[in-house]
Structure 1
Amino acid sequence: MQENTSKKSELKKSCVNCGAELTYAPGTTELKCNYCGHTQQISPSEDSFKELELAPYLNQMGSQSHSEEITMLHCKNCGANQHIEENYKSLHCVYCSMPLIIEDAYKEDWILPGAVLPFQIDQAKAHAVFKKWVDGLWFAPNNLKKAAIDPQNTKGLYSPFWTFDAQLYANYTGQRGDYYYVTVPYTSTVNGKRVTQNRQERRTRWTPASGSVNGFVDDTLIKASKQKTGVIPKKVALWNLQALQPFDSSFLAGFVTEKYTIPLKEGHLEANKEAKVIATNWACRDIGGDTQQVSSLNMRLSDETFKHILLPVYISAYSFNGKRYNFFVNGQTGIVSGQRPYSFWKIFLFILLIITIISVILIFAQNG
């Protein structure tokens, strides 16, 4: 591996005016100096945006032209692997807030990202969204709202994903169900008398079906990391992948980058499961009728390619009564979601208030 290649994602750029380190300005294609305001245009190379042929990487796990070396810190508490830029002040895990020891940093190969979805909102905006969400929570502990005041608790993270493309071909057998209705008599009681009435009942006429389906499966998105805690909620994990940019390390400046912990081979197995669901849906559509059953599906994928991509999310971690909670803000859309603690005393006092109000109403009603 050549030295200039191995350092590709760790290159740092300094401001030409004051020498301070430049960081990516969310929502732009620029690096910005937070000291003097100087900006520098990011011009990513289109070469990095191409899909990679899957088979060689499954065999060699990326130990070739599109792999490189990166400095990593491993969280011993939750298992996340993260690369933290030197200018990132808080050396704490973005998922669980446990301290990371810089002396524990180590070098590790990774498959170079092929694309990145740059942050579209900055930390101040993400923190404001998060704080508004926290302020709107009923029965939230006061400590939670105090924790939300400090913007340092809201951290920007590039989360790793695999995307897979393939040509899909499948033979299937199954049954086509067509609805029809029959008139069925039944007895009921009307005004004390037993009467016979009719009702329509739906039945299904099944006929054998078989055939084949084919098509292109584009950008099957598979999460490429796992932790003991801090799973990004499905509500937040929705990005517009049409906005992906060719990978350039400049987009990472000032943010934490998480390294994948789910190997490419395991991600590919998950993508195959998704492809089978897609093939089944295509088969059902091909069968037609009102309802369908697929009894066998013989699926084959060809021309398989993949990309390692990085997607933006802000995370805030908070500990309450010995339990850790995570809150997430989508770095592209601003959608917020997460776990939340409840205050026992707030709930207790609320119930006590309701009981008191009801008691007062009953006393007035009796005296009246």
Structure 2
Amino acid sequence: MADQHWPCAQCGADLRFVPGATELRCDHCGHVQPIPARPQARSRALGEIPLARGLSDDLTEAQTQTVQSTPCPNCGALVEFKGAEHATLCPFCATPVVTATGETRKIKPQAVLPFVLSEAQARDAMTRWLGSLWFAPNGLQEYARKGRALSGLYVPYWTFDADTRSSYRGARGDHYYTTETYVSDGKTRTRQVQHTRWSAASGRVARDFDDVLVLASQSLPRDYTDALAPWDLSALEPYDADYLAGFTAEGYTVPLSDGHAIGREVMAGVIRQDVRADIGGDEQRIDEVETDWSEETFKHILLPVWMAAYRYQGRAYRFVVNGQTGKVQGERPWSKWKIAFAVLLALVAAGIFYAVNQNR
């Protein structure tokens, strides 16, 4: 993970990328520097890399870079060092990190999804989300509004493509009903009883996957970042360090091979849904699925996330905001008093309902 700094040509202060624009701006003197469009580079950067080449470490020098980095001993984020720098603080948890000896060859990001939302817009989205939470402490929203600024972070992801052809064996269950007679309160009554008729099923399904996203970081919970979807990947731009000015970019800590395994799990889940739809009926049993994988490719991309960590009554809570759409996910505290009051109201309501029905 590295903070990106660009000096202003007029005053020497740091330039920063302006979310939602294609320019760098100096907050000190107001100088604006446009980011040039690169239409030819776009088609090259957004092209897929054959997965086999990535897994066998058979990539060109242009597709890789050598970095000096070490994982944070506390949260696992990959902290990168530049120049003669040997020690820094982890941007995620403020743990002191000292560089390890040696260098690592890493796959370069091919594309970046630039920030669309400013820090103020992301904060508004988070504040609205906090205000919508049931059983949250009354002071949490105001506490968060007065907290420190959110951190803009480019999070590493893998994307995977694959063409799949799958054969399956299983069973189809169709419901049917029979009428059953029974005695209740001295009266003879009837009811419909559901049964399932099973029949063997087999067949083939096919699906082509495009840009299956897999988080390549271990510093954020995967269920948090998965909940930030969907992302509009059609807005990806060729990797240009200018988009990172004033933000932090995290290096990947999930290797390509591990990311591919997760990606296949995601795709396998979709294939099983396709199988169930192909079997049809009211219920399905899947005994076996065999999949042929072909045309597998990958990309390494960076996606924008605003992040905040707040302490509330002695405990830390983290929130993440999709820097493109404003979707929010995070941990939340619970108000014990609100929960206890709700339970009490439910018990009172249940007691009143019981008393009314007893007196009928």
TM range (shorter): 0.7 to 0.9
Task: Give the Å deviation of 1:147.
Answer: 6.0
| Structure 1, 159-168 or 9-18: larger mean CA deviation | 9-18
Out of 78, 90, 95, the residue aligned to residue 92 of structure 2 is 95
Deviation at 1:315, TM superposition (A): 0.8
Q: Distance in 2 between matches of 1:141 and 1:84?
A: 42
In structure 2, distance between residues paired with 1:198 and 1:78: 62
Q: Deviations over 1:24-78 (max 9, x none)?
A: 1101222222232423134242111111110011111757441113454642221
Pair 1:79 & 2:72 matched: no
Choose the corresponding residue for 1:166, options 153, 162, 166: 162
Q: How far 1:238 moved relative to its partner?
A: 3.5
The alpha-carbon distance between structure 1 residues 343 and 294, as it changes in their structure 2 partners (threshold 3 A), is: closer
| Pairing partner for 1:282 from 274, 290, 293 | 274
- Of 37, 41, 52 in structure 2, the residue corresponding to residue 43 of structure 1 is 37
Worse-superposed segment, 139-148 or 231-240: 139-148
* Correspondence for 2:18: 25
Residue aligning to 1:319: 311
Partner SS state of residue 57, structure 1: helix
Q: Deviations over 1:83-129 (max 9, x none)?
A: 5899xxxx653432x14458779854321112211111111222333
Of 201, 204, 211, 1:209 maps to: 201
Q: Residue 250 of structure 2: SS of its match in structure 1?
A: strand
Whether the aligned pair in 2 keeps the contact of 1:32 and 1:39 (CA below 8 Å) is yes
Give the aligned partner of residue 177 of structure 1.
173
Unaligned runs of 5+ in 2: 349-360
Q: Is the 8 Å Cα contact of residues 124 and 151 (structure 1) preserved in structure 2?
A: no
Match of 2:243 among 221, 242, 251: 251
Name the aligned partner's letter for residue 218 of structure 2. K
Give distance in 2, aligned partners of 1:238 and 1:85: 33
- Alpha-carbon distance in 1 for matches of 2:137, 2:58: 46
CA distance change for structure 1 residues 139 and 194 in 2, over 3 Å: closer, same or farther?
closer
Matched to 1:194, the amino acid is K
CA distance 1:26–1:70, shift in 2 (3 Å): farther
Superposition pairs of residues 1-368 of structure 1, within 5 angstroms: 13-35=6-28, 36-44=30-38, 45-46=41-42, 47-60=44-57, 62=59, 64-70=61-67, 72=69, 74-83=71-80, 92-96=89-93, 98-100=94-96, 108-134=104-130, 140=137, 145-146=142-143, 148-152=145-149, 154-189=150-185, 193-195=186-188, 197-227=189-219, 232=224, 234-320=226-312, 323-341=315-333, 347=337
Structure 1 residues 62 and 32: alpha-carbon distance in aligned structure 2, compared to 1, 3 A threshold:
same
Q: CA deviation at 1:217?
A: 1.2
d(CA) in 2 for partners of 1:283, 1:48: 35
Q: Is the 8 A contact 2:162 2:296 kept in 1?
A: yes
Residues 1:22 and 1:250: Cα distance change in structure 2 (over 3 Å): same
CA distance in 1, matches of 2:69, 2:137: 36
Matching residue's letter, 1:303:
E
Query: Which piece of structure 1 moves more, 29-38 or 268-277?
Result: 29-38
State the identity %: 35
CA distance change for structure 1 residues 111 and 10 in 2, over 3 Å: closer, same or farther? Answer: farther
- The whole-number CA distance in structure 2 between the counterparts of 1:282 and 1:135 is 39
- What amino acid sits opposite 2:169 in the alignment? T
Q: CA deviation at 1:20?
A: 3.6
- What SS does the aligned partner of 2:224 have? coil
Give the direction of change, closer, same or farther, for the CA distance of 1:136–1:312 in structure 2 (3 Å limit).
same
CA distance 1:328–1:92, change in 2 (3 Å): farther
Contact 1:129–1:336, Cα closer than 8 Å, also in 2:
yes
| CA distance in 2: counterparts of 1:161 and 1:237, whole angstroms | 13
The corresponding residue for 2:351 is none
CA RMSD of aligned residues (A): 3.4
1:175–1:292 contact (8 Å) kept in structure 2? yes
User: SS at 1:170's partner residue?
Assistant: strand
Residues 84 and 34 of structure 1, relative CA distance in 2, 3 Å threshold: farther
Q: Which runs of 5 or more residues in structure 1 are unaligned? A: 1-8, 359-368
TM-aligned CA deviation for residue 241 of structure 1:
2.3
Q: 1:211 to 1:132 in 2, by over 3 A?
A: closer
Q: Which amino acid aligns with 1:297?
A: V
Q: CA offset at residue 268 of structure 1?
A: 0.8
